[in-house]
Amino acid sequence: MAVGAALVAGCTGTATGPGRMGGGSVGQGGMMGASSAMLAPLTCAAPADLPGERVTVTLSDMGMSRTMGGTAPMGAHMSLTVEPATVPAGEVTLVVDNRGWRTHEVVVLPLADGAAAGQRVPAADGKVDETGSLGEASGSCAAGEGEGIASGAVGWVTLTLAPGHYELVCNLTNHYANGMRQELVVSG
């Protein structure tokens, strides 16, 4: 699979109100019914002219607030949603909105034939194996890798994806086990 370089660009625009919740398929721990008051307001936005098919990934912490910090406990309600959940093969830009109160990230992992999202087993450190990762969005108001997407920030990454099934995961301690994973289908 060919992997495109992450697009490097600055954040443009701002969103200071509760803004949109994001739509689309609901991941484990879903967002349906979450009020916008529970979501962190966005403080930046991805550039409008990002290349390829645009996929919006929305991250949230259900029932958490700005005052919560540290490592997420097991059993915390977290959500990762993807819209659209199917895109054509080629250049794909993931735009990741962190509407949660904790720092998050999105790592792109290929799924083996017949495997489904949510079947990976976290190690003792609360993370899944990232071997074979195709890239990640973990920079606040920035493209590509960073120190994590802060609450209210947006990160993005542009990849070239072959037809197949991919699992988008937040791989910070306990986040995968707490529901932050969703399948992305890339059609041929």
For the stretch 84-101, pLDDT in tens is: 999 999 999 999 999 998
Q: Which amino acid is at 1?
A: M
pLDDT, residue 30, reads 40
Domain ranges of the chain: 38-64+74-187
The residue ranking higher by pLDDT, 35 or 186, is 186
- pLDDT value, residue 74: 82
43 closest CA partner among 156, 128, 153: 153
Q: What angle do CA 65, 104, 129 make, to 5 degrees?
A: 135
Q: Which residues pair with 78 in a beta bridge?
A: 61
Peptide bond into 84 cis (omega under 30): yes
Nearest to 115 by CA among 78, 169, 53: 169
CATH fold group of domain 38-64+74-187 = Immunoglobulin-like (2.60.40)
Of the given ranges (12-21, 52-61, 70-79, 132-141), which has the lowest mean pLDDT? 12-21
Q: Are 59 and 97 in contact (CB under 8 A)?
A: yes
Q: Which residues pair with 93 in a beta bridge?
A: 54, 158
Give the whole-angstrom CA distance, residue 188 versus residue 185.
Answer: 10
**Range in 22-31, 46-55, 113-122 the model is least confident about:** 22-31
pTM of the entire predicted model: 0.79
Which residues make beta-bridge pairs with 7? none
So what's the pLDDT on residue 26?
Answer: 35
62 or 67, which is more confident?
62
Distance CA 160, CA 120 (A): 24
The reported pLDDT for the residue numbered 8 is 32
